[in-house]
Amino acid sequence: MDKEIDFWIFSDESGKWNEGSYYIRSWIKISSSKYRLLRKEILFLKHETKIKELKWNHFEKNYDKLKDVFNVRFDVFITISIPYHLSKKRFKALDTLKQIKENEFTGDLELRKRLKQKAISSIKHMLFFNIYERQHIENVKGIFLRSPRLTKYKFMVDHPQCLDRDWRDIAKSVGVNKVEIVKRSEEAPGIELADIIAGCIFNMLKKKREAKEIYDELIKAKMVDMHSRKYPNPNLIFFGEFAKSERKILSLFR
């Protein structure tokens, strides 16, 4: 572990950027000394349970054996967006592309259809990550890096749903420069823990009772700034886009 790091911020997502009800990011802030304890605890539990990679589905099935990972002190921040919110907005580039007829593309009819669909999907992907994902990162920065004096940190992010280079560039655009993309999450206990939390929150929002009980027992006490005006936790990305019915999910966290 890097001796120049005072604290680590780990993140993993649950849900897909372009479909489903929610796209959730869990963010964990943990000091270097506490992370050493977490590593030992997770490695021990994986050895005892013969689990190669600790993920939410393993945790849920082996709750009593694995819940001790939450004994270590760390903070949790949750950011939530809804994929279809992107489609409610008008973007000139997207509107222009949709108006281009398929016969303007190269190839036979089937190829032209696929090319147009691919072009539209690619632009939507770029829009989501450069607008919504960017806001996820900017908001967690507002909580975990609120002081400019906090410089000895590192973001560790599970392989995202975009190019690693693009994610780093997006993070850099909001002032988060120390980022490492994790290729093998089983080698990063902080990412494994972030996966557990993201999966739990996703299932809780889907009204699964077991996930709500795990949240109440293990995660809720670690949620920071739940009553912050600027960056409340959980944090609904572009709050104004959430309908009143969609905002009701907040009650699950209280």
User: Average pLDDT, stretch 70-99?
Assistant: 92
Q: What is the mean pLDDT of the chain?
A: 94
Say which CATH number the domain at 59 has.
3.30.420
Task: Establish if 115 belongs to a structural domain.
Answer: no
Q: Is the peptide bond before 234 cis (omega within 30 degrees of 0)?
A: yes
Task: Establish if 121 belongs to a structural domain.
Answer: no
| 222 within 8 A of 74, measured Cβ to Cβ | yes
User: Average pLDDT, stretch 88-103?
Assistant: 86
Instruction: Give the pLDDT score at 87.
Output: 87
Query: What is the span of the domain harbouring residue 198?
Result: 7-91+137-243
Those residues with Cβ within 8 angstroms of residue 157's Cβ, 6 or more apart along the chain or in another chain: 10, 11, 12, 167, 179, 180, 181, 182, 191
Task: Establish if 150 belongs to a structural domain.
Answer: yes
Q: How many structural domains compose the chain?
A: 1
Q: What is the pLDDT of residues 179-211, one digit of tens each?
A: 999 999 999 999 999 999 999 999 999 999 999
Q: Which of 20, 82, 65 is nearest to 234 (CA)?
A: 82
Whether residue 3 has pLDDT greater than 80:
no
Task: Establish if 28 belongs to a structural domain.
Answer: yes
Task: Establish if 42 belongs to a structural domain.
Answer: yes
Confidence of residue 227 (pLDDT cuts 50, 70, 90): confident
Among left, alpha and beta (phi > 0; psi -120 to 50; other), residue 138 is alpha
- Angle formed at CA 77 by CA 79 and CA 238, multiple of 5 degrees: 25
Task: Establish if 226 belongs to a structural domain.
Answer: yes
Whether residue 54 has pLDDT greater than 80:
yes
Instruction: Give the pLDDT score at 174.
Output: 97
Whether residue 170 has pLDDT greater than 70:
yes
Percent of the chain with pLDDT over 70: 99
Task: Establish if 33 belongs to a structural domain.
Answer: yes
Q: What is the pLDDT of residues 106-155, one digit of tens each?
A: 888 888 888 998 999 999 999 999 999 999 999 999 999 988 788 899 99
Task: Establish if 122 belongs to a structural domain.
Answer: no
pTM beyond 0.85: yes
